[in-house]
Amino acid sequence: MAASRRQQPPSSCVSRVPSHMPEVSVVMSVYNGEAALPSTLSSLLQQTGCDFEIIAINDGSTDQSGQVLDAWAAENPRLRVFHQPNQGLTRALIRGCNEASGEFIARQDVGDASRPGRLAAQARLLRSDPSLVFAGCRYALVGPGNEPLTDGEPPQGATTDSGLRNQDGSAVASPHHGTAMFRKSAYAAAGGYRPEFYYAQDVDLWSRLIDQGDFGQVPEVLYQVKFDLDSITASHRAEQQSLRALVAHARALRSQGRSDAPVLAQAQRIRPGGSSPVPPAPRRDSRPAANYFVGSCLASRGDPRAKSYLTQTVRAKPLHIKAWFKLAKLALSPSKRAL
């Protein structure tokens, strides 16, 4: 740890050294997450059934995130906070994983919540089967106002294995990043996160981690994902798809015993400004699609709150026929659920 302190820039602040080696290290990158941090941290600190630490990388936040993290760390020895100038999600995760003391590394995104028993269940699965290098879980999706959008995405199990093992990894959806727990030793053997994949660092990691062992899934819903209207998934879907194709290409090259360096050079250019690691700015044309997605999910559940999101969709895109159709259907049908 002393060596790592010397390498930190003057603005960095490294938290206390852990007094023992926890089983699980939860790694979380924080950029301007001041409002959501208390609920996310509470969901983690209330976990039971396994020994864990939380490693929070404050990635150059311009709000009060750093102060919030320091205040919580002062009261919770299991929370270790590291401050750094903004370098983007991937590099923040690389640092977090490098600081991890646990045998297993779990991911957590600010704004999301780990449900009771999540860490214990995933750690138990990894302990029970040495062939597993990854343990995921089902997750529920909620809207910007915590409106329930899904009851729990199904576990992917063996289909995830086969999809990631194929050269064309885009054929099967990969595990949700926030639900992941993996062996630190396998992460290191796979080469860890690679900064070239700015918008798809998780898919790239899974495509290499699967060569170290099997992926497993806990069947329970143990993680809650909050859909952000300006998230990377909502505002940079095209870039993510392009990077997924490059991940598949890189895997194909490696399977042939060839270097994937040319693919990394291509991936490096798919980022804000082509080469700058600053956080991506949401695109204005992504908001209507995000509002429609939330409104459509709520409408399918008979939730009258769908009207607000669908109305915002048609205000931005008056010719959005599907949104108009769902609004009309909502107007003609009584609500199916009391709020």
Domains of the chain: 10-238 (3.90.550.10), 286-332 (no CATH)
Cα distance between residue 181 and residue 179, in whole Å: 7
> What is the model's pLDDT at position 19?
61
Which whole number is the average pLDDT over 275-289? 59
Mean pLDDT of 158-181: 62
**Contact (CB, 8 A) for 317 and 324:** no
In the prediction, which pLDDT does 333 show?
A: 79
Calculated CA dihedral for residues 100, 104, 105, 106, nearest 10 degrees: -140
pLDDT for position 171: 38
Residue 24 has pLDDT above 50, yes or no: yes
Model confidence, pTM: 0.86
Q: Tens of pLDDT along 38-92? A: 999 999 999 999 999 999 999 999 999 999 999 999 999 999 999 999 999 999 9
pLDDT the model gives residue 166: 54
Q: What is the pLDDT of residue 338?
A: 42
Q: Band of the pLDDT at 262, cuts 50, 70, 90?
A: very high
Q: What is the pLDDT of residue 272?
A: 84
pLDDT value of position 18: 60
Tell which phi-psi region holds residue 276, choosing left (phi > 0), alpha (psi between -120 and 50) or beta.
beta
Res. 205 pLDDT band, cuts 50 70 90: very high
β-pairing, 113-114 vs 132-142, is unpaired
Q: Residue 26 pLDDT > 70, yes or no?
A: yes
Q: Which two tokens stand for residue 90?
A: 């991937």
pLDDT at 113: 98
Residue 169 has pLDDT above 60, yes or no: no
Higher per-residue confidence, 239 vs 30: 30
Question: What's the pLDDT band for 164 if we cut at 50, 70, 90?
Answer: low
Q: How far apart are CA 41 and CA 43, in angstroms?
A: 5
Does the pLDDT at position 335 exceed 80?
Answer: no
> Backbone phi, then psi, for 122, in 5-degree steps?
-70, -40
**Predicted pLDDT at 154:** 59
Of 181, 165, 187, 247, nearest in space to 216 by CA: 181
79-84 and 52-59 as β-strands: parallel, antiparallel, unpaired? Answer: parallel
| Predicted local distance difference test score (pLDDT) of residue 27 | 98
258 has a pLDDT exceeding 50: yes
